[in-house]
Amino acid sequence: MTRRARIALALTALVALALALAAWNVEPIVLWGMRPSEPFAAQRPPRPPDYRDDAAWTALPTRADSADEAPPDSPAIDPARAPADVFYVHPTSYVGPRWNAPVDDRSLNDATDAVATRIQASAFNACCAVYGPRYRQANGTAFLRPSADGDAAIELAYGDVRRAFRAFLARRGAERPFVLASHSQGTFLAERLLVDEVSRKPLRARLVAAYLVGGDVSAERLAARAPDLLPCRSSDDLGCVVAWNARRAGYAPSDMELASRDGLPRLCTNPLTWRDDGVAGPTSLHLGAVFLESDDRRPRRGFADARCVGGALVVERVGDIPRDAMSRVLDHAFGDGNLHPVEYQLFYMNLRANALRRVAAMVGAALP
């Protein structure tokens, strides 16, 4: 072997070792990369969104956007004919050094539209006109490592979402039925919104259901703070709350696990049975996983099973999930067996059909 070949081989080995170490330690690396470089008080907050401006929304029924996408043979309803609306609060799409993300960053907004609105909010476009605000989302470490600075960042994000919800009501008319939908950070904010703006108010009668996925929703906490908002216990209950956190069997929590606020058990609604008990949902009930971010957008029927166990939606049987290289890094950071990044996609068609069913029950008419 020549000297040049030995050097090339050594460099290849060093690169492989570095990549292996990075993969092994990806959780602390990701957390380190996300951590803000200075206290909340030292950072000037980004400019607040103006919800009168269409640019402050990731989804609106009055324009074409990523929430309009739909799988083959399951078209979106014409928003002008939709009997209900959905207010969708997107998950964290910002990875950067600020406590709160700007809403006028084009690349960040493009990422939000592609990796959140398109693959999540679109699940509701068969039943509803879709609204989704941009907001000054809190740095992800605020939820993974609670702190006073993180709480301040969350408060700022929540203030935006609350203003956006009031703008949503003004745009659509408060008398129309509506669905509340969210994921991850969005669920943390949407749960609070539900308590503050809907519970024990006239608007409560117009709530079709709240789909609060991938968060820290507790039935006990809801009962204490919003006793009129019960967990959904059938596929056509109205004015109720759906929640789940999907994990493979045998999952061990990682450093990227969302911190529990009070240690209360999490609500788990099985999206195959629409019950909050431990009754298994077999793959025969699975209407289709949909990965609009992949080349194959067709629903994959019978793709997964599901059972609620100890507050988690445990998936024992699941097909091959299409993920690109960066998504696989994210999956590794969340931990082997944590299905948090694909909690909507895995049960997309069940969610789509259920939203249709509940809206039809609300308005008293069959929908296509």
Q: What is the pLDDT of residue 8?
A: 45
Question: Is residue 170 in some structural domain?
Answer: yes
pLDDT in tens, 36-55: 989 999 999 999 999 999 99
What SS3 state is found at 318?
Answer: strand
pLDDT bucket at 161, cuts 50 / 70 / 90? very high
By the 8 A CB rule, do 347 and 339 touch?
Answer: no
Which residues have C-beta within 8 Å of that of residue 6, sequence separation ≥ 6? none
By the 8 A CB rule, do 283 and 332 touch?
Answer: no
What is the b/e burial string over 321-349, where b = at least 16 CB atoms within 10 angstroms of the residue's CB? Answer: bebeeeeebbbbbbbebbbbbbbbbbbbb
DSSP secondary structure letter of residue 163: H
Quote the percentage of the chain above a pLDDT of 90: 78
Q: What is the pLDDT of residue 366?
A: 63
pLDDT in tens, 91-132: 999 988 999 999 999 999 999 999 999 999 999 999 999 999
pLDDT at 192 over 70: yes
pLDDT in tens, 226-279: 999 999 999 999 999 999 999 999 887 766 677 677 888 999 999 999 999 999
Domain with 303, as residue range(s), is: 35-363
CA 112 to chain centre: 11
What is the b/e burial string over 83-107, where b = at least 16 CB atoms within 10 angstroms of the residue's CB? Answer: bbbbbbbbbbbbeeebbbbbbeeee
pLDDT at 318 over 50: yes
Rg of the Cα atoms in the chain: 21
Domain count, the chain: 1
Residue 196: name the closest of 241, 232, 230, 159 by CA. Answer: 159
CA 229 to chain centre: 20
Better-scored residue on pLDDT, 12 or 278: 278
Instruction: Report the C-alpha gap between 143 and 63 in whole angstroms.
Output: 33
pLDDT bucket at 347, cuts 50 / 70 / 90? very high
Mean pLDDT (the chain, rounded): 90
Question: Is residue 317 in some structural domain?
Answer: yes
Query: Looking at residues 332-343, what average pLDDT do you find?
Result: 87
pLDDT at 323 over 90: no
Question: Is residue 19 in some structural domain?
Answer: no
* Burial classification of residue 146, based on how many CB atoms lie within 10 Å of its CB (0-12 exposed, 13-18 middle, 19 or more buried): middle
Which residues have C-beta within 8 Å of that of residue 78, sequence separation ≥ 6? none
Question: Is residue 243 in some structural domain?
Answer: yes
Question: Is residue 24 in some structural domain?
Answer: no
What SS3 state is found at 242?
Answer: strand
Instruction: Report the C-alpha gap between 184 and 186 in whole angstroms.
Output: 5
Instruction: Report the C-alpha gap between 45 and 48 in whole angstroms.
Output: 8
Three-state SS sequence of 175-189: CCCEEEEEECHHHHH
Q: What is the pLDDT of residue 174?
A: 79
Question: Is residue 16 in some structural domain?
Answer: no
Three-state SS sequence of 15-39: HHHHHHHHHHCHHHHHHHHHCCCCC
Question: Is residue 334 in some structural domain?
Answer: yes
Q: Which residue has the tokens 């402050």?
A: 56
Question: Is residue 149 in some structural domain?
Answer: yes
Query: H or E stretch including 210?
Result: strand 207-213
